[in-house]
Amino acid sequence: MSVAIAYTEFGGPEVLQQIEIPAPLPAAGEVALRIEAAGVNPIDAKLRSGRRASAEITDPRRVGSDGAGIVTAIGEGVDGFRIGQPVVFFGATGAYASDLVVSAQNVHPRPPLVSAAEGAALGIPVGTAYQTLRSLSVGAGDTLLVHGGSGAVGQAIIQFAVLWGATVIATSSERRFDRVRELGGLPVAYGEGLLERIREAAPAGVTVAIDAAGTDEALQASLDLVADRERIATLVRGKDAGGLGIRAFSGGSPSPLTAQQLAWRAESVPVTLALLAAGAFSLELGPSFPLSEAAAAHRAVEEGADGKVTLTP
Ligand SMILES: NC(=O)c1ccc[n+]([C@@H]2O[C@H](COP(=O)([O-])OP(=O)(O)OC[C@H]3O[C@@H](n4cnc5c(N)ncnc54)[C@H](OP(=O)(O)O)[C@@H]3O)[C@@H](O)[C@H]2O)c1
């Protein structure tokens, strides 16, 4: 019997329940997977708690979009996969499960050097980082400020931006400075006096800013430092972006992502898998929980655990 995590009411982590599901069979264009690891993202907890608005719950609502697994069945019209193949997927519905069907377009072979947990850590964080940097045309000559540089999204932002030739100032707690440095970022502590510390770290100025923290302080520092509001984006305060004249990519924004932005998000996964296989990208893994302890995994994310939290069936 297959199992999955679902909830029937919004609330605290305790609303996450393990349910039995029929073994899923792939339709045309899909592959079926035995899940080895699922990524736990902050959006999963925001949706569960109702902090991020979503449709009324009518049926048990499944959780999770990113993961890694082994191909168990292949739907009609799907080429390029074989039974038993290790893969990575993103953009699925209900990744917190033992078995899942996923559109073959969202599935990529997992290179031997990439662990299941690393594969599960890709989808939302790297997709968001890659798309945001592409949307803002970040590259050589830029000094990028990223708020929340020590988080999963921030770490991916630092690495892509450095790879593409930008200088990166990244805010984090002091305890996370070493990790930020390791990735090529210049760490600056968030909190009182932030603006002065950034000015000191970037005496020639900041040309582009990304908010992956969502605090008033982060938004204000970006507004004070970057002259061109088209080059300021928030990933968290999407609702406030219009009023501030800055850009938002999801994060509660009323504007959906464009086809190009979605294409960049999808492109990020094979790009990052290739970088990982070449030893040119680093993923920080956090605590891993059994599927039956999904509630504890959500608590860890909500308490700000270091590294990507994963679930293993
Ligand atoms: N718009 C989108 O498409 C999209 C996609 C993915 C994520 N997001 C959102 O982006 C945010 C980050 O996601 P994530 O997966 O990177 O989360 P994460 O791994 O939990 O990272 C959270 C980050 O926030 C920092 N932080 C905590 N308190 C802070 C404060 N008071 N001021 C400034 N920074 C603070 C943390 O720094 P320390 O740990 O060093 O304290 C850490 O760098 C979440 O709100 C998430 O929902 C949006």
Look at residue 41 in the predicted model and tell me its pLDDT: 98
Angle between helix axes 123-135 and 259-277 (nearest 10 degrees) is 120
Q: Work out the average pLDDT over 208-218.
A: 98
Percent of the chain with pLDDT over 90: 100
The closest of 148, 146, 155 to 125, measured between CA atoms, is 155
How far does Cα 57 stand from its chain's mean position?
24
Reduced to 3 states, what is the DSSP secondary structure of residue 103? strand
Distance from chain centroid for Cα 61: 20
Question: Closest ligand 1 atom to the C-alpha of 125?
Answer: 6
281-289's contacts with Cβ under 8 Å and 24+ in sequence apart are 281/159, 282/155, 282/159, 282/182, 282/183, 283/118, 283/121, 283/122, 283/155, 283/308, 284/152, 284/155, 284/179, 284/308, 285/117, 285/118, 285/121, 285/310, 286/310, 288/37, 288/117, 288/312
CA-nearest residue, atom 10 of ligand 1:
212
Cβ–ligand 1 distance for 155 under 6 Å, the answer no
Burial class (CB in 10 A: 0-12, 13-18, 19+), 228: exposed
Mutate to test the pocket of ligand 1, among 44, 175, 190, 217 (most ligand atoms within 8 A of CB): 190
CA angle, corner 301, sides to 69 and 1, nearest 5? 35
- Looking at residue 58, its amino acid is T
CA-proximal residue: ligand 1, atom 5 (nearest): 128
If we measure between CA atoms, which residue out of 111, 188, 208 comes closest to residue 148?
A: 188
Q: Which of 144, 247, 146, 150 is nearest to 204 (CA)?
A: 144
* Contact 236 CB / ligand 1 (< 6 Å): yes
The closest alpha carbon to 39, from 89, 84, 74, belongs to 89
Quote the CA–CA distance of 148 and 56 in Å, as a whole number: 31
pLDDT tier, 110 (very low <50, low <70, confident <90, very high otherwise)? very high
How would you classify the pairing of strands 143-147 and 208-211?
Answer: parallel
**DSSP letter assigned to residue 310:** E
Q: Is the dihedral of CA 244, 247, 249, 255 positive or negative?
A: positive
pLDDT at 150 over 90: yes
Q: Which of 130, 153, 174 to mutate to test the pocket of ligand 1 (most atoms within 8 A of CB)?
A: 153
Residues 13 and 26: their CA atoms lie apart, in Å, by 30
By alpha-carbon position, which residue is closest to atom 3 of ligand 1?
A: 250
230: CA distance to ligand 1 center in Å?
22
Mean confidence (pLDDT) of the chain: 98
Radius of gyration of the chain (CA): 19
Query: Does 1 have pLDDT greater than 90?
Result: no
Residues 10-59 have pLDDT tens digits of 999 999 999 999 999 999 999 999 999 999 999 999 999 999 999 999 99
Is the overall model pTM greater than 0.85, yes or no?
Answer: yes
Instruction: Please work out, in degrees rounded to the nearest 5, the angle formed at the alpha carbon of residue 293 by the alpha carbons of 290 and 294.
Output: 100
pLDDT band at 134 (very low <50, low <70, confident <90, very high): very high
Q: Give mean pLDDT, residues 225-251.
A: 98
